[in-house]
Amino acid sequence: MTADPRRVAMISVHTSPLEQPGTGDAGGMNVYVAETAKELARRGVEVDIFTRRTTGETPVEAELVPGVRVRHVTAGPYEGLSKEDLPGQLCAFSAGIMQAGLSVPEDHYDLVHSHYWLSGQVGWLAADRWRVALVHTMHTMARVKNLHLADGDTPEPIGREIGEAQVVEAADRLIANTDDEARELIELYAALPRKVSVVPPGVDLSTFTAGDRTAARSGLGLPLDGDLLLFVGRIQPLKAPDVLLRAAHELIRRDPTRRRTLSVAVLGGPSGSGLTRPHELEDLAAALGIADVVRFVPPVPRPVLAQWYRAADLVVVPSYSESFGLVAIEAQACGTPVVAADVGGLPTAVGDAGVLVQGHATADWADAIGGLLADPDRRRALGDAARAHAQQFGWGATTDRLLAVYRQAIGDRTGSPIDEGQGLVGVPTAVIP
């Protein structure tokens, strides 16, 4: 049987696991990279995470935890580059990784795991140079996003689609968050089914725990009474926080007395195409006449984020596309019911422990939210179910599956007699029925 890797090179070109999720390009992928790296280190696997240096003050190396190094690579100017500018810096980033590789023995790394298509392009070269297997996680895909664009949002460029297709072909193994994403890889990118493994992301079950709502509100300085609706995430059209604002406006229109009891919190910062219109959501709240019930909160550390989840009556996730939906599973781990769009990986993240809404019509979202606010018994039942549902998504379980994929990729690369048609226990090989 193939052994676990000793050392893994993770590549996350456009965003560092040291950054605060919730603004710019930092989001669920940052959490995924950091948490899986820490779990691998707990199992004795050393991890080097290569990411782009974005300030002159950033150290060349930083220790995330013992056994996990973040290595910052200089590629282009430190500041002023958007994610869309980075394809032009991939050659420089690749050269930086190759230079770093000269300081270690040729067989130092056993495997490369790249995250997002930009990293896949670099990982393809690094894995070939080091003669090791390449495992790749897309996180998001251009062809999927372009099928589910929000009104007025900018389509992903054809260059990204081509780059993703190249990575799909080059990778030894592809990690999908859900069965639905596995199917998209196969149907939209012609991925070989035997190369695709489903490994759901996780949640930090030691941080995101249930607690007293009143105590959480008191600690955050929030009113102890009334209904609190919470959106958490990067503020951009793809994440659709405007859907929550429009639904809140509709609820108040239907019952003007709600203005005295309803609060909406939007926790996050501008990202993606939202960076070009950083105040659009505030302007929308003013135009709808609900600025007095909406508060905007910048990204916060995870222990504080858990307090926000506990304080909320409902967490609303109205995205147009989600590969999984970490916000949904974090909220559920805190015992807070979730109302989410029925798209991408959200049905997997939410399960039967929340409410899924088809489409993004304001009336439908107002109906779903208003119905739950009017039914505290159902909210309590969903909160209990949500907490139980979230327990199966710990990062330890994710990493167990990830290691199984690593072993499979290394075994295939070195000619280990693994029956690819059977897959590994707990790591299904994706197929189209």
Annotated binding-site residues for UDP-N-acetyl-alpha-D-glucosamine read 20-21, 28, 234, 239, 300, 322, 330
Decide: residue 279, CB within 10 A, 0-12 exposed, 13-18 middle, 19+ buried.
exposed
Cα 112 from Cα 409, distance rounded (Å): 10
Alpha-carbon Rg of the chain, whole angstroms? 22
Q: How many CB atoms lie within 10 A of CB 181?
A: 28
Backbone angles phi, psi at 337, to 5 degrees: -65, 150
Binding residue ranges for Mg(2+): 309-310, 312, 336
Give me 121's structure tokens: 């392009």
* Beta strands across the sheet bearing 133-137: 61-65, 68-73, 46-52, 7-11, 111-115, 133-137, 173-176, 196-198
Binding residue ranges: 14, 20-21, 25-30, 83, 116, 140, 160, 234, 239, 300, 309-310, 312, 322, 330, 336
Which residues have CB under 8 Å from 9's CB, separation 6+?
47, 48, 50, 97, 109, 111, 112, 113, 126, 130
Length of the chain counted residue by residue: 433
Binding residue ranges for 1D-myo-inositol 3-phosphate: 14, 25-30, 83, 116, 140, 160
**Residue 266, beta-bridge partner list:** 231, 296
